[in-house]
Amino acid sequence: MPADHLKRNFKGYGSRPPNPMWPGGAKLALNFVVNVEEGSEPSIDDGDPETESGLTEGASGNFKVRDLAAESMFEFGSRVGYWRIVRLFEERAMPATIMACALALERNPDIASHVRQTALFDVCAHGWRWEHHRGLDVAEERLRIARAAASIFNTTGKTADGWYCRYGPSINTRRLLSEAGCFLYDSDAYNDELPYWIDVDGKQHLVVPYSLTNNDAKFMRGSIDSGEAFFRMLRESFDMLMSEGQIAPKMMSVGLHLRIAGHPGRAAGLRRFLDYVATHEDQVWVCNRSDIARHWHTHHQPEPTSKKGN
């Protein structure tokens, strides 16, 4: 039988979600995630069988030689995209979460230094590097988690409060995160619009669900094709959640990638959305992901395990 935390739960909060009691009576908690992955992706230089071309402008084929085109598309993200995206947040004094692969920060010291110096950004670990945790044995995965957490602290001076696997978790990931004891939450779930507690080997562990819906990856998958379409998608999600927030406030995650949203036409859509959000500043809580986790730890403590069994 699977461990309790691996059993599927189709009910969740159901028709009566809790009032999250967001600060200031906000109708929505809005979190922007800026993925920093450049330099951590599979590459022949690092001993991988082929060059990673995921979420780039176009793959040239899975050849067993270096794909210099794909490599340079990743480089655009760290050389240009990061600085364009973070400038938009800094100009508006809006916080965001840096969801970083540890190796990417090691190979981009200017980005790591910027994350260290700004109070606007917190950090969520996105793995040691871009790899399949489902292919690691327990001992390997435990070492990767510890290595990622230590590396991120070393490069940024900030603790990675959360965790999110690049390709999805293994059946052991959540247990190993709980065992590590240094994470406030993980985001390896897409099944809700509010955080929730889960029992992991008798210990209560917080899940802050993520979303691939409000995500710039849709540019590369053909779902949206312009900054205007990106803005419209985000605005419509925001408006729906704000309307529902009159009765049942929720959270909204927006995923950004340096090599995608960092390009001018796409960044223009993000800029429009940030300015739109600013017109609702008295009703929305724009926050870090760790802010949401800490709020839940403070205001929504889990029920004792014995009480749940009644």
Other C-beta atoms closer than 10 Å to the C-beta of 175 total 21
Query: Taking CA 132 as the corner, what is the angle to CA 127 and CA 134, rounded to the nearest 5 degrees?
Result: 110
| Residue 247 phi, psi dihedral angles, 5° rounding | -115, -45
Overall pTM > 0.85: yes
Local confidence pLDDT in tens for the 310 residues of the chain: 678 889 999 999 999 999 999 999 999 999 999 999 999 998 999 998 888 888 888 766 667 888 899 999 999 999 999 999 999 999 999 999 999 999 999 999 999 999 999 999 999 999 999 999 999 999 999 999 999 999 999 999 999 999 999 889 999 999 999 999 999 999 999 999 999 999 999 999 999 999 999 999 999 888 899 999 999 999 999 999 999 999 999 999 999 999 999 999 999 999 999 999 999 999 999 999 999 999 999 999 998 765 454 3
Tokens at residue 220, please? 């590369």
85: helix, strand or coil: helix
Buried b (16+ CB within 10 A) or exposed e, 45-80: eeeeebbbbebbeebeeeeeeebeebbebbebbbbe
